Amino acid sequence: MMTAKNKFLPVSRADMDARCWDELDFLYIVGDAYVDHPSFGHAIISRVLESHGYKVGIIALPDWRSADDFKKMGRPRLAVLVSAGNIDSMVNHYTVSKKRRTDDAYAPGNKAGQRPDRATIVYCNRIKEAFGNIPVLIGGVEASLRRFAHYDYWDDKIRRSILFDSRADLLMYGMGEKQIVEIADKLNAGIPVNEITDVAGTCYISRECDENAVILPSFEDCVSDKRAYADSCRIQYYEQNPFTGKTLAQKHGDRYLIQNRPMVPLDTAELDAVYELPYMKTYHPMYEKDGGIEAIKEVKFSLTANRGCFGSCNFCALAFHQGRIVTSRSDESLIKEATEMMKYPDFKGYIHDVGGPTANFRGPACKKQMRSGACKDRQCLFPKPCPNMEITHKSYLNLLRKLRKIDGVKKVFIRSGIRFDYLINDKDDSFFRELCQYHVSGQLKVAPEHVSDNVLKYMGKPENAIFNKFSEKFYKINEQIGKKQYLVPYLMSSHPGSTLRDAVALAVYLKEHNINPQQVQDFYPTPGTISTCMFYTGLDPFTMKKVYVPKSGKEKAMQRALLQFRNPENYALVYEALTKTGRTDLIGYQQRCLIKPPQGDIVDKQNHRRNQNGKAVNGKGSFGKNKGGACGGGQKPQKRRNKSGARGNNRG
């Protein structure tokens, strides 16, 4: 009999026959290609179930145009699991301008179009067609972030909870390892799925709600009243606490969407166990003929060291999905995984990343978080670091030192993002110095996102002075150690709160500091974020005060163009933006000017005369050491983060 160890899970009836299986316990339908690596949610959940004795088969990227593909491994004994994949299918398919993407890193050959829009809903409908009345459990980012009534950017309207539209029985939100085992054991014990209503980290539909539940504004109220929707988002955010969070109930018609409190995050021993399951660490060989799966390349030789993020940026869904409590794997587990990389013939001695949502978070922000969770009405780092926060990099630094000493490891990089406002507040410079000395490949990516304190406030990011302080120290350390290395700042245009004047201020900053970003990102209103609530309602849900939201295509195009004002293709938009904001002083021949005037323009003549009078300005600042080129030094910056990231919307 073939053993499960060091084998891919079944993907066909022939694979089941090879294992002498007559039926599966669980059939997993997923909108990504089957990649048996712990950076992919379907790999983790299926291997966790396997480790508890359950038989799991995977149908990846099924043909959704009929039910035939869904039937090929037979009806499972207990339930069907459904996930759209590592990314919301709509984000996977469409750019922020709602143009169809032409590639898909999670599909064979990088070819788009191999999964449907709103994949979770479509797959569930086909499952009902294939198997009739069978328990259906949904999870993953798409389901997790759409668990309540939510604003859908692509339809430009409030949609119902995905649990109603998919007609699934249970929704598992968050990471899911504990939920799936508890549910599996209950189903295996003969408990009907409609009676499984007490599992933390799950949602279900009910005709009634507990008298102790917090009642959210109904779906109908959210549709008719934007203030009600903002109230709903605020309450949801406050109650995402695995220790003190209350049951939430939201009425949809004559039924309720019920969210049980979040599941307690995995501790170190549990995380180690999950990541030490017998993953194949690559994509299924059936994709070889199509050119493989692009998404494995960045993560194959990376180490996931932690989960959760207490950074709580408003545009990031991590607080709503992984949660605000950071937990991490042990050094021993990570060293073991790194050592196993040596066995792969394509390993060249380079560990691409050691991190997670934020690389330099290795544990809870303070001691109380593992007893009572993150604070309900305050953030750890914004607007200022909480005095109770333990700011230290000792654990992370010790881990990196151990990894560097492994025989066969040439370099250990950090690519998943450094939270600079946390790092700059560490009084011990040891990590900062060794970061520059050993773990930067010429460029370090950081995410200031903007320079206007007005915009940063709505992003939940620190004021620009903090980034300047970090930048100056970065270049000072590199000068001391004799290295020429550069910061690659990620920047965002058109975030709620950003006026055209704020965008001009950012462009001026880029000019003064000689930054030439090759890739920038428009704000993308994805489900599950506070910033998306602001975008839709025009309100800050925490204060209920009005927020300016750039929504017209023309203004968004101007804000984006200002970030790349040097690009000749953006000239007309930049010229219009500067004229509209009364900043024609930035059109001319002086060094501080963003663009030259068109020939014959009155501004051209005025600024030319000023230039002849010797009034040019040579702007310098914290990026003054950058001498030309993309992001300084003429080096090509690293590729912009993928649409949502294998770990899910990770913003440092």
Residues 411 and 454 both lie in one domain: no
What pLDDT does 605 receive? Answer: 54
Which residues lie closer than 8 Å to 643 by C-beta, 6 or more apart? 87, 91, 92, 101
Assigned token pair, 453: 């304190």
Of the candidates 155, 175, 191, which is a domain's last residue?
191
Query: How much is the average pLDDT of 111-124?
Result: 97
DSSP string over 215-254? EPPPHHHHHH-HHHHHHHHHHHHHT--TTTPPPEEEEETT
Strands 170-172 and 202-206: antiparallel
- From the list 356, 370, 360, the residue with the least C-alpha distance to 394 is 360
Q: If you average pLDDT over every residue of the chain, what do you get?
A: 91
Residues 519 and 387 both lie in one domain: no
Q: For 326-361, write each residue's pLDDT tens digit.
A: 999 999 999 999 999 999 999 999 999 999 999 999
Q: Is 248:213 a contact under the CB 8 Å cutoff?
A: yes
What pLDDT does 635 receive? Answer: 32
In a domain, 109, yes or no: yes
How buried is 133 (Cβ within 10 angstroms: 0-12 exposed, 13-18 middle, 19+ buried)? exposed
Residues 484 and 623 both lie in one domain: yes
Residues 171 and 111 both lie in one domain: yes
Q: How many residues does the chain have?
A: 652
Residues 506 and 405 both lie in one domain: no
In a domain, 230, yes or no: no
Query: How much is the average pLDDT of 383-408?
Result: 96
In a domain, 119, yes or no: yes
Q: Is 217:249 a contact under the CB 8 Å cutoff?
A: no
Q: Is 292:506 a contact under the CB 8 Å cutoff?
A: no
- pLDDT of 231 above 70: yes
With both helix axes pointing from N to C terminus, report the angle between 553-563 and 571-580 in degrees, rounded to the nearest 10: 110
Q: What share of the chain is helix, strand, coil (3-state, %, to 5)?
A: 35, 15, 50
- From the list 524, 392, 531, the residue with the least C-alpha distance to 461 is 531
Residues 412 and 561 both lie in one domain: no
Instruction: Quickly state the pLDDT bin for 614 (edges 50, 70, 90).
Output: very low
Q: What is the CATH number of the domain that holds 390?
A: 3.30.750.210
Of the candidates 425, 452, 481, which is a domain's last residue?
425
Which residues make beta-bridge pairs with 136? 80
Instruction: Quickly state the pLDDT bin for 62 (edges 50, 70, 90).
Output: very high
Of the candidates 376, 400, 425, which is a domain's last residue?
425
What pLDDT does 330 receive? Answer: 98
Q: What is the CATH number of the domain that holds 186?
A: 3.40.50.2300
Residues 393 and 528 both lie in one domain: no
What pLDDT does 599 receive? Answer: 76
Q: What is the CATH number of the domain that holds 557?
A: 3.30.750.200
What pLDDT does 357 receive? Answer: 93
Q: How many structural domains does the chain have?
A: 3
Query: How much is the average pLDDT of 601-627?
Result: 46
Which residues lie closer than 8 Å to 195 by C-beta, 6 or more apart? none
Assigned token pair, 23: 């039926």
Instruction: Quickly state the pLDDT bin for 416 (edges 50, 70, 90).
Output: confident
What pLDDT does 600 receive? Answer: 59
What pLDDT does 520 receive? Answer: 85
| Residue written as token pair 């930048």 | 471
What pLDDT does 604 receive? Answer: 55
What pLDDT does 561 receive? Answer: 97
Distance of CA 75 to the CA centre of its chain: 34
- The residue segments making up the domain with residue 333 are 301-425
In a domain, 652, yes or no: yes
Instruction: Quickly state the pLDDT bin for 116 (edges 50, 70, 90).
Output: very high
What pLDDT does 634 receive? Answer: 32
How buried is 554 (Cβ within 10 angstroms: 0-12 exposed, 13-18 middle, 19+ buried)? exposed
Distance of CA 569 to the CA centre of its chain: 30
Q: For 24-38, write each residue's pLDDT tens digit.
A: 999 999 999 999 999
Query: How much is the average pLDDT of 635-643?
Result: 37
Residues 466 and 611 both lie in one domain: yes
